A and B are shown apart, each in its own frame.
Chain A
Amino acid sequence: MLATRTDTGRFRPRALPLWRLVRVANGSSRVLRGAGFTSSKHRESAADGTCRVLQRSELIGGGKRTLAVSVKSVSKGHSFREDLAVMAVRGVNWMSRATGRGAGTVAGGRVGLWIDPDLLAKLARGRTIVLVSGTNGKTTTTALCAAGWGGDVATNVTGSNMPPGHVAALVGSTSERVVLEADEAWLANVVRATSPRVVVLLNLSRDQLDRASEVRQMAERWHQCLAAPENAQLVVVANANDPLVAYAATASSNVRWCDVATSWMADARSCPRCTLPLEHSDNDWHCSCGFAKPSTLAATLDGVLHVGSEQAELDLSIPGDFNRGNAALAATALAELGVGLGGAVARMNTLSGVAGRFTLRRWGRHTLRLLLAKNPAGFDALLSTVDQGDSDVWVAINAQIADGRDPSWLYDVAFERLRGHRVWCLGERRLDLATRLDYADVDYEIVDDVTSLPVSAAPVEMLANYTAFSEWMARTTAC
């Protein structure tokens, strides 16, 4: 009743009918029809945030007909609908947290958008907004961007990256500085609602194809969004090494290209513009149709990060080359907002964990480093940090709706790199994982009962996909 489901199975808010709002707000002032009289009340909110209340009463008695119409203007900057929606977001999220039913970032946002479908746009008004989107690294890049900006920044760091999560983030903080991660499929909607100053585009690769269908369609949707005349002013910070991102971003005339390491190219073997084969060479790509890696770069990252004329030493506390790339994109976005590179990078360097990721966690006598990997490109990036050590590896795979129902992608992950490690297979689809490891000649153990997991002296490296990660976050505590 609160929402309609779209074909991708995602949430789309539907407006609360106005007459019900009136009844909710004013108790007795709903449309009343009694013996001899009719009364109705109507509320209208205008685009400038003002609100008009129209009341119409009609009395019929003694052969006479009396009509009373009153029009009242309420102009407090916020509409009544918006105020009610914000109260609902706070109330429902508080209840959600208090009852332990959730992290309190989605339910309230949904109710708020139900009451006022324009709530996100209204909350975004007058703020400086950076949006971050892409298949992998959204949450970490958002956290890096918020940390690098410094001070009070409104952000959806728990990874609730659809409009209900954005609403919750903006209700939770009135800060003028906002960094929001946006689900790839929702980017166009969120751009329309929030009019961001900067949009950061990280990468695009196969992920949950049962819901998103094709990667190239996603690039096309981004392209259409950025080509829209109303978005001509926004600055796009884009990964120049990802051909699908480059295709999307070339729709904008305001792009800051970043040259950051991108290892996953399996979804960009044919040209996103003309479908001919793309030629890849060391840190470069081009097509015979003329589409090629952009040559005018705003940021480069070798040993040192260069953004415009500034440079700084990236020495992140979180691991992985992919996170150095994420930091470079975040710093480029911040440079657009006038944030000095030295200060931004110094603040990013101190960020040690993002929503429980990368840091050591405890579960009974076990110590583990919990890593989220949802798709082949994500696994590819993380396996490079895991395969060097000799620690035990736990991998948990689920295939719920939020994970994608189809675990076929396990065959796109180079699990062969884990040869020499012993891998414990967990999660609802542990048999799919075990089969994959079996054919990869990797030593594996199927774990039907997690309490039987042996305690190892060194911290365990644990890779988990989306819902499995959430389960293990809940099960473990910070060290």
Chain B
Amino acid sequence: MDGEDDGVLRVVVLFPELLGTYGDAGNGLVLAQRARRRGTECELVSVGLHDPLPDADIYLLGGGEDGPQRLACDLLARSSFAERIGDGVHVVAVCAGLQLLGHSFCVEGDDEYAGLGVVDVVTRRGTTRSVGEMAVDVDGRLLVGFENHGGRTTLGAGVPPLGKMVHGRGNDGAVDGFRTGSIWATYAHGPVLAMNPWFCDEVLSSVLGRTLEPLHGAADLLYAQRCAVLSPRSRA
């Protein structure tokens, strides 16, 4: 773990009051619960608007509306968040959270609002909003979720996407999100870690630095059901 070496996993949800429109705070809960159920002590922290940025093993960024997204970006820009990313802290960012890690994004009244610029990514306004269920092929495994955004994200030359679109739009209709160093980013908003237990465990395993024993629950049934609905074979 990257945080204080006291054996406690620190999961920090950043500004759920601003970036939590689609149940995104659920990702923190799911990550913490899957760690706890494997015997790892875990502290789940929500950062409020006036709180200083706490230490963390992993930071979670959610989705949000234009105004709150801009405010969250400003608050993060004034904090040590970018330095911590430079130091290799883990981050899972979805939707608006994905956009504000890049060089710029669109909000009402400003099509080039400056982001944190920690990843070589630019988001422009799309002609239509992308709303619906989505599925992404991540190294042969399916990531399922729901997207609801108006952005078109272009990745810089050295930035690999998280995966290829199987269904839905993601960044641009071809690929979704990005995967750099210790950052996972996707347009699958809300409880993407709840819907995709394998993805949650991949993140958790990387944070804890060990392989994880299997954990069974309702999430496996849910994942199987959404895959059956969204996989290319069933849609053909």
Q: State the A residues within 8 Å of B (CB).
A: 206, 209-210, 213-216, 266, 269-270, 275-277, 405-406, 408-412, 431-432, 434-440, 444, 446
Contact = CB atoms under 8 A, between A and B. Distances in A.
B146 A408 contact: yes
Contacts of B146: 210, 405-406, 408
6 contacts: A275-B70, A431-B225, A434-B221, A435-B191, A436-B26, A436-B191
A407 B120 CA distance: 32
Nearest to A271: B67
Nearest to A269: B17
Contacts of B218: 431, 434-435, 437-438, 444, 446
Given A210-B148, A434-B221, A408 B71 contact: no
Main secondary structure of the interface of A (DSSP, over half): helix
Contacts of B26: 408, 410-412, 436, 439
A438 B217 contact: yes
Interface string B118-148: 0000000000010111000000000000101
B189 interface: yes
A47 B86 CA distance: 69
Contacts, number: 102
A435 B22 contact: no
A406 B132 CA distance: 8
A435 B219 CA distance: 5
Contacts of B20: 266, 412
B194 A435 contact: yes
A277 B194 CA distance: 29
B25 A411 contact: yes
Contact of B222 (A213, A435, A440): A435
Contact of B67 (A216, A412, A432): A216
Contact of B191 (A405, A411, A437): A411
Contacts of A435: 191, 194-195, 217-219, 221-222
Given A405-B146, A439-B219, A446-B218, 5 more contacts: A213-B148, A409-B22, A410-B23, A437-B218, A438-B219
A434 B222 contact: yes
A409 B190 CA distance: 8
Interface in B1-53: 17-18, 20-26, 29-30, 33, 49-50
